Amino acid sequence: MCGIAGIVSRDREALGAVAAMMQALRHRGPDDEGYLLADSGAARACAHRGTDTAAGIDASPLPSLAPEGSDLALGHRRLAIIDLSPGGHGPMPSADRMLWITYNGEVYNYLELRDELLARGHVFQTASDTEVLLAAYAEWGEDALAHLNGMFAFAIYDVRRRVLFAARDRFGVKPFFYHHAGPGLFAFASEIKGLLAHPRVPGVVHEPTLAGFLTRGQLDEGTQTFFEGIRSLPAAHRLTLDLRTGALALSRWYDIPAAEARAADPEAFRALLEDAVRLRLRSDVDVGTCLSGGLDSSSLVALTARLRQGDRGRRAFSILYDEPGMIERPFVQSVVAATGVEAHETSASAADLLADLPALIRHQDEPIPSAGPFSHWRVMRLAHEHGMKVLLDGQGADEILAGYPYQLGPFFGEVAGRAGLWRAVGEARAASRVTGRPLAFHLGLLAYQRLPLPSALRRLAVGRFSTHTHVPAAMLEPALAAQVPAQAGERHVPRATLREERLANLWQTSLPALLRYEDRNSMAFGIEARTPFLDYRLVEHAMALPAEALVKGGWSKAILRDAMRGVLPEDVRLRRDKLGFTTPEKRWLAELAPHVREWLGSGSRVAARLQPRALEGWLSEPAAAMAGRPGLWRLVAAEHWLRANEAHP
């Protein structure tokens, strides 16, 4: 796991910014630092060291000005996980120095690939997965991507082809951002802050994205970021930059294959999940697990404990609150007692949020829609304090296994279309019995999916039941209101089947934002977060399951519950509620009311984008009433993000 960056330009001063870019990403790779400067026209490349380069690396210091003729700079910050020796240093060359790679991620099946490549005549000098990835590209070219089971974002300088080739993993676990200013400048980095460290990458707010975030909840749905001229390479995409012409080409390299619905087989599902966990336990450092007390993380803890009985790596990290409706402690304790893992826990208060909020927003690079990611931030800090460098986490399970309450709507709609309305009503009754939510809520989900409701009524329903509230559009000042995207986005779009909803969740409406929180929070503390539920084999298996294998008798994620029978404690396996890493957001905002009024008061950056009277009305209310205003957190997050952006050089 690492931080990567690169620049393509014929301007030697522009190339020199690579050191500043890597300094901005130092938290992602505190163990080592390396650089490459190249003249692609002369096929000349030279490795260089930085101030944090590990001992034993033979390279000259990075010059302040790139040599004459240079047109490419690559940077690498290393978090050593596989092969802790200097052999894992990057950017790494192939044996013939015709390929150079800067790489962020892990290829979990690297041992199997290594054996296959050895049989094809490749020779390896290190025990790293980076060298295996480089050899795979040498052997199969761009088709090497299909051989990889892992999370990755990397760039390869192909000397012979004179191209820069980059790719992102199937589901976008690892990030890749880029700025392309025509043939004069191309730059990429693991995080936006890395790009903003380049003096020629403007940190200008993309106002339509901010407006869509505030009023419609749009977040990480496409390639456009909150910054003008900075885009995200989509998950499952590759990028090729022709170093001769500066021409940039993007294409998709993976999609979930269409498949005939398969019968539910809990044992086969558990075997796949267990193998995904087994691969993600490969590490030369300790591997721990996040534990929220929910079904997903508890399953990972239980499987990890079974796979590593008597071995290291049996530590679990939790955040626990004593807030009514947020009590996870009994479930966490049940899992700990059943598995024997070494448990570590933390908590958080409004004072903690006040202290950490600027750093949290700064590391996220973009606003966040709720205080939820702060709980995850605290867990990562806890793990860092205990010396952890790798954690397993449960991201992706809800998306592929229909774990969210709103996913019941497409399920009910699918049942109605296939088996009739009364069958769908029966499913709604079953869900009400299991979840304890009123039948009217579930019938409302059915109506939202199946009936031609007026758009005003749909907006009312979204505003009433959406997990994350939005700022009323009428609060925006006219100039910003005019920039609200014409397209409403993919969130809250009725879908005909549960599979269609899950696909949208994976690619646009849910997972991209969650993976952003996951990556920035974990890497802020030098921790690699691994997500077994996003093993592509498991995802493809889950996406081929019929809806009734996922929602059965009102129970969500039925296939996982069935698969974990005898592995998880029954009180956890049959949990009816769903919390995850949540926070007492409204209470905290009420407790921080004086600070909220200061943040959004005179001189506020976000206030300049709002109707003054409407905002003044909010800020003049009693603390509890103000804290309950829909969208207040979005304003707070946007304000801190705008302030953090001003701090960039």
Q: Tell me, what CATH number does 525's domain have? A: 3.40.50.620
Say yes or no to pLDDT of 461 above 70.
no
Q: Which of 415, 440, 470 is the last residue of a domain?
A: 470
SS3 174: coil
Q: Which residues pair with 211 in a beta bridge?
A: none
For the segment 485-499, the average pLDDT, to the nearest whole number, is 82
User: 107 or 582: whose pLDDT is higher?
Assistant: 107
Across 89-107, average pLDDT: 97
Question: What is the side-by-side strand order in the sheet with 99-107?
Answer: 92-93, 99-107, 150-158, 163-168, 237-242, 248-252
Alpha-carbon distance of 140 to 325, in angstroms, equals 53
Q: What is the pLDDT of residue 456?
A: 60
Question: Is 73 inside any structural domain?
Answer: yes
Looking at 470, 491, 521, the residue that finishes a domain is 470
One-letter amino acid of 18: V
Same domain, 279 and 412: no
User: Of 573, 595, 625, at which residue does a domain stop?
Assistant: 573
- Based on the fold, state whether residues 534 and 559 are members of the same structural domain: yes
Predicted TM-score (pTM) of the model is 0.96
In three-state secondary structure terms, 253 is coil
Residues 173-195 have a mean pLDDT of: 95
| Predicted pLDDT at 323 | 87
Task: For 241, list phi and psi in degrees, rounded to 5.
Answer: -115, 120
How far CA 223 is from CA of 176, 237, 385, 421, in Å, comes to 11, 11, 35, 39
Residue 47 DSSP code: E
17 plus 48 within the same structural domain? yes
Mean pLDDT along residues 304-320: 82
Provide the percentage of residues in the chain whose pLDDT is more than 90: 86
CA distance 264 to 297: 22
pLDDT at 561: 98
Is residue 244 within 8 Å of residue 162, measured between CB atoms?
A: yes
SS3 222: coil
pLDDT classification of 325: cutoffs 50, 70, 90? confident
What is the sign of the dihedral through the CA atoms of 548, 552, 555 and 557? Answer: negative
Residue 473 tokens read as: 């559009």
For residue 23, pLDDT over 90 is answered with yes
- Supply the pLDDT for residue 450: 81
Q: Cβ distance 24 to 197 under 8 Å?
A: yes
Mean pLDDT of 509-521: 97
Shortest CA distance to 71 belongs to which of 15, 19, 117? 15
Together in a domain, 420 and 299 = no
pLDDT, one tens digit per residue, over 235-287 is 999 999 999 999 999 999 999 998 777 889 999 999 999 999 999 999 999 99
Q: How far apart are CA 254 and CA 2, in angstroms?
A: 23
Residues 412 and 395 grouped into a single domain: no
Whether 23 is in a domain gets the answer yes
Same domain membership, residue 538 and residue 463: no
Domain annotation covers residue 361: no
Q: What percent of the chain clears pLDDT 70, i.e. is strictly above it?
A: 95
Q: Are residues 236 and 156 in the same domain?
A: yes
In this prediction, residue 47 has a pLDDT band, given cuts at 50, 70 and 90, of: very high
Measured between alpha carbons, how far is 368 from 374 in angstroms, rounded to an integer? 10
Per-residue DSSP letters for 457-523? HHHHHHHHH-SS----GGGB-HHHHTTS-SS--STT---SSHHHHHHHIIIIISHHHHHHHHHHHHH
Question: Is 210 found in the same domain as 284?
Answer: no
Which residues, in sequence order, are bridge partners of residue 561?
A: none
Predicted local distance difference test score (pLDDT) of residue 466: 65
Q: Tell me: do 191 and 211 sit in the same domain.
A: yes
Collapsing DSSP states into helix, strand and coil, what is residue 530?
A: strand
Q: 494: pLDDT confidence band, cut at 50, 70 and 90?
A: confident
Poorest-confidence range of 154-163, 244-253, 258-267, 337-346?
Answer: 258-267
Q: Are strands 60-61 and 44-49 parallel, antiparallel or unpaired?
A: parallel
Closest CA to 579 of 274, 386, 328, 251: 328
Contact 312, 389 (CB under 8 A): no
CB 615 within 8 A of CB 600: yes
Q: Judge residue 613's burial from the number of C-beta atoms within 10 Å of its C-beta, 0-12 exposed, 13-18 middle, 19 or more buried.
A: exposed
Q: Which amino acid is at 649?
A: P
Tell me, yes or no, whether 362 lies in a domain.
no
**Length, in residues, of the chain:** 649
Provide the pairing of β-strand 60-61 with 72-78: unpaired
Decide: 209 and 226 in contact? Cβ < 8 Å. yes
566 and 611 inside one domain = no
Quote the tokens at residue 600. 């959004």
Which of the residue ranges 112-126, 196-210, 386-400, 443-457 would you say has the lowest mean pLDDT? 443-457
Q: Classify residue 535: in a domain, yes or no.
A: yes
Whether 296 has a pLDDT exceeding 60, the answer reads yes
Q: Is the peptide bond before 93 cis (omega within 30 degrees of 0)?
A: no
Per-residue pLDDT band at 182 (split at 50, 70, 90): confident
Q: What is the CATH number of the domain that holds 70?
A: 3.60.20.10
Q: What residues does 73 pair with on adjacent strands?
A: 7, 37
Looking at the chain, the number of H-run helices and the number of E-run strands are 28, 19
**What is the enclosing helix (H) or strand (E) of 179?**
strand 177-180
Residue 368 covered by a domain:
no
| Long-range contacts, stretch 258-263, CB < 8 angstroms, 24+ apart | 259/540, 259/543, 259/544, 260/544, 261/544, 261/545, 261/546, 262/541, 262/544, 262/545, 262/546, 263/549
Assess whether 13 and 53 both reside in one domain: yes
pLDDT of the residue at 451:
74
CA 568/CA 179 separation, integer angstroms = 47
The total domain count for the chain is 4
The pLDDT of residue 459 is 63
Query: Is there a domain that residue 202 lies in?
Result: yes
As a whole number, the mean pLDDT across the chain is 94
How far apart are alpha carbons 395 and 501 in whole angstroms?
Answer: 17
Amino acid letter at 134? Answer: L
Using CA of residue 77, residue 360, residue 153, residue 157, what is the dihedral sign? negative
Report the distance separating Cα 325 and Cα 313, nearest Å.
Answer: 31
For residue 465, the model assigns a pLDDT of 61
* Range in 103-107, 157-161, 556-560, 582-586 the model is least confident about: 582-586
Same domain, 278 and 381: yes
Query: Per the domain annotation, does 240 fall within a domain?
Result: yes
Structural domain containing residue 440: 407-470
